[in-house]
Amino acid sequence: MSDPNPGDGHDRSVADADKTARARIRDAAIRRFARDGVAATSLKAIAADAGVSPPLVVHHFGSKDGLRAACDEYVNELTWRMKSRLDSGLSTDPLSSIRQAQTDLPILEYIARTIPDGSEHADALVDSMVEDTLRYMAAAEAEGLVRPAENPRERAVVLVLWQLGALVLHEQARRLLGADLTGPSLATIRFWLPAGEILAYGVLDPERFEEIRAASLAALAREETEG
């Protein structure tokens, strides 16, 4: 919205001060939501972290739901900005651009905490990760780095879900593997080495997989016919 009094310097200074307070509240909420989760975080705690009063939080965002939506939108904006600035190469990790970026906000922790709760912004972020993975995999196929897929989009969706699922369970990955999935790329190596082995060499015997695949497709066909 444009300034109703563009010539009034006092009004502009008040707007700038409000914008600064709004940003402080938003960043404090991202940190709190990332650490404690949305449900366990109060507006009072966020206000204290931001150095403002709880009524000012309500003034800017209306409610905790409104603040959560603003945080989601900002995290999406940051994520897309990072992707546009950084070249992630032929990576199957949709979070690689965030890992490479320098930011003082716990973006990966925030995603890990809030994606399971669901929101339209979370859906948009996941959709963008699927599109990125499709693009990376197509380029990797062209370079001969990965095998072609019968269903490229479904493969991309499964890869994204695997990686986001691992991110949600990042504390278990740290406990069991010593890998920090919320850290920079180097910190994830203890996770990606066994994951890469699974992707490169597989787990199932190929003949056994074809049997399972045929039976699964037959079951789906029966369900569609009977449905």
Listed range (4-18, 26-40, 76-90) with the worst mean pLDDT: 4-18
What's the whole-number mean pLDDT along residues 114-121?
85
Inside any domain, residue 98 = yes
Per-residue confidence band for 103, with pLDDT thresholds at 50, 70 and 90: confident
Quote the Cα angle for 183-189-190, to 5°: 105
Inside any domain, residue 175 = no
Inside any domain, residue 186 = no
Inside any domain, residue 3 = no
| CB distance 24 to 51 below 8 Å | yes
pTM of the full structure? 0.76
Q: How many other CB atoms are there within 10 angstroms of residue 47's CB atom?
A: 20
For residue 80, give both structure tokens.
Answer: 């897309």
Does 82 or 108 have the greater pLDDT score?
108
Inside any domain, residue 190 = no
> What CATH number did the domain enclosing 78 receive?
1.10.357.10
pLDDT for the residue 80: 77
Does 143 or 82 have the greater pLDDT score?
143
Q: Round to the nearest angstrom and report the end-to-end CA distance of the chain.
A: 51
Q: What is the mean pLDDT of the chain?
A: 84
List CB contacts of 30: < 8 A, sequence separation 6 or more.
71, 74, 75, 105, 106, 107, 110
Inside any domain, residue 177 = no
**Is the pLDDT at 177 greater than 90, yes or no?**
yes
**Is the pLDDT at 16 greater than 80, yes or no?**
no
Quote the Cα angle for 194-196-202, to 5°: 90
Pairwise CA distance, residues 134 & 126, whole Å: 12
Listed range (54-58, 75-79, 150-154, 209-213) with the worst mean pLDDT: 75-79
Count the domains in the chain: 1
**Is the pLDDT at 62 greater than 70, yes or no?**
yes
What's the whole-number mean pLDDT along residues 222-227?
83
What's the whole-number mean pLDDT along residues 69-82?
85
pLDDT for the residue 112: 93
Inside any domain, residue 194 = no
| CB distance 92 to 136 below 8 Å | yes
Instruction: Supply the range of the domain harboring residue 93.
Output: 12-168
**Is the pLDDT at 5 greater than 90, yes or no?**
no
53 dihedral zone (left: phi>0; alpha: psi -120 to 50; beta): beta
Inside any domain, residue 191 = no
Q: How many other CB atoms are there within 10 angstroms of residue 195's CB atom?
A: 18
Considering only CA atoms, which of 88, 173, 98 is closest in space to residue 133? 88
